Amino acid sequence: MSDIFSTSTSFADLGLRSEVLQGIEDQGFEHPTMIQAKLIPLAIEGKDIIGQSKTGTGKTASFSLPALHLIDTDAPFACLCLVPTRELAIQVARECRELGRHTGLKVLPVYGGQSINTQAEKLKQKPQIIIGTPGRVMDMNQRGLLPYNKIKLAILDEVDRMLDIGFRDDIRKILGAMKQQHQTVFVSATISPEIERLAKKYMHNPVDLSTTEASSLTVSQVDQSCVGVQEWDKRRLLHHVLGIEKPDLALVFCRMKVTVDKVAKSLQNKKIDAVTLHANMNQGARNRVMDKLRKRDVRVVVASDLAARGIDVDDITHVINYDVPEDPEVYVHRIGRTARKGRDGKAIMFVTPDQSELLLNIEKLTNVEIVESRFDEFKPGPEPE
Ligand code: ADP
């Protein structure tokens, strides 16, 4: 635990105003985490910051608290925080709202899949803090409902994802349109040198709280292992592993949405309480799954990498990598859904014989040897015709 929390520091030491401190107390936070203790005072000073810290170490509060401290109620649209998924927009806005409940600040999530009109009405009430996904933010900006020229603090959560190919253009458009002086705070659990270089183009003399130390990427409480398996045996193996491990709450990650559906169906056929989460589902269905997860009203969630980042649900006991991710950083984010806030968790990865190089790349990035788990009672089947 001591490598997560800064136990010799209190939140008051960080210079936060009393309304914000009250919100922190309501949440029951006793001490800041390491990243919070480092990042918050610098952010309050007005510095641009790149912050890196392991999954589950409180990055959301590390940027939300200084935002709540710095922004006044008479400064509409003063803070824009961009996140890669709708689920994350909802979650970050919720935490920011809770922490800011005594500040009188309005926090609004703005994301695709929810009625434009509903969000437009709320934007007309001029919230001070917007947590949004890039597409919907740009849409609202074009409608004249979300001006960029009022932004004083721009935050990128999961910055490496926000600046990779998929979002890079959108971010360039949004950040590039902010001609006024503003502060930037970018955070993630993984930041490659290339992303760091790109990020710095949008920053002014940033303080770099990122670390290149590979050993600090994964949380030590995650017990990581892999199992060799043929592609055609994976579904049976999953069923077997769930039977042996008996997870209270497991996230099963697959690379493709079709696999997510097939895997969930095969579990359901075997009477296992499994639900799916991927981007082809409508937002209502996605929100219902997130609610179930939060209420522990489900045992197994089969998900695409949509759920790999940021999702903060306590007590996910197991992460099963049904498919090895192509990008080793995705592995770090996936397994970071377990072992949060100093708890324990298990990560098991299925590896087919042609994937040893991918496994090696993951081991190199994380600097952890992923040991082989043995499920001796599992009998591999013959290759199908
Ligand atoms: P990260 O973004 O680093 O993966 P989160 O910001 O989602 O982590 O935080 C993980 C959990 O820890 C959240 O449930 C959050 O409310 C909680 N948390 C954050 N800061 C503290 C703190 N100082 N003390 C106790 N709990 C905290």
DSSP string, 101-165: TTTT--EEEE-TTS-HHHHHHHHHT--SEEEE-HHHHHHHHHTTSS-GGG-SEEEEETHHHHTSH
Q: CA of 170: how far to CAs of 70, 162, 218, 294, 343, in Å?
A: 26, 9, 29, 31, 36
Q: Is residue 348 a contact partner of residue 241, using CB atoms and an 8 Å limit?
A: yes
- Residues of the chain short of pLDDT 50, as ranges, are none
* CB of 57 closer than 6 angstroms to any ligand 1 atom: yes
How many angstroms separate the alpha carbon of residue 347 from the centre of ligand 1? 20
- Tokens representing 96 are 């920011």
Helix axes 257-269, 234-245, angle to 10 degrees: 60
Task: Identify the pLDDT of residue 26.
Answer: 98
- Helix runs in the chain, H state only: 18-27, 34-44, 59-70, 86-99, 116-124, 134-142, 159-162, 165-176, 193-200, 234-245, 257-269, 283-294, 328-335, 356-366
CA separation for the pair 88, 270 (Å, rounded): 31
Closest to 43 in 3D by CA, of 66, 21, 64:
66
Can you say whether the dihedral through the CA atoms of 346, 352, 358, 364 is positive or negative?
positive
25: Cα separation from own chain's centroid: 24
CA separation for the pair 240, 246 (Å, rounded): 10
* CB of 29 closer than 6 angstroms to any ligand 1 atom: yes
Return the C-alpha torsion angle 360, 366, 368, 373, nearest 10. Answer: -60
* CB of 309 closer than 6 angstroms to any ligand 1 atom: no
Residues 6 or more apart whose CB falls under 8 angstroms from that of 264 comprise 274, 275, 276, 302
- Residue with token string 């927009």: 89
* CB of 61 closer than 6 angstroms to any ligand 1 atom: yes
* CB of 190 closer than 6 angstroms to any ligand 1 atom: no
CA nearest ligand 1 atom 22, residue: 29
Burial class (CB in 10 A: 0-12, 13-18, 19+), 168: middle
How many angstroms separate the alpha carbon of residue 325 from the centre of ligand 1? 25
Atom number in ligand 1 closest to CA 54: 3
CA nearest ligand 1 atom 26, residue: 29
DSSP state of 296: T
How many angstroms separate the alpha carbon of residue 202 from the centre of ligand 1? 27
**At 242, phi and psi to the nearest 5?**
-65, -35
Helix (H, G, I), strand (E, B) or coil at 224: strand
Task: Identify the pLDDT of residue 211.
Answer: 65
Rg of the chain (C-alpha set): 21
How many angstroms separate the alpha carbon of residue 111 from the centre of ligand 1? 22
Q: Is residue 182 a contact partner of residue 47, using CB atoms and an 8 Å limit?
A: no
- Rounded to two decimals, the pTM is 0.91
Task: Identify the pLDDT of residue 2.
Answer: 58
CA nearest ligand 1 atom 12, residue: 58
Atom number in ligand 1 closest to CA 36: 23
Task: Identify the pLDDT of residue 385.
Answer: 84
Atom number in ligand 1 closest to CA 35: 3
- Tokens representing 305 are 């990498």
Task: Identify the pLDDT of residue 343.
Answer: 78
- Amino acid (one-letter) located at 285: A
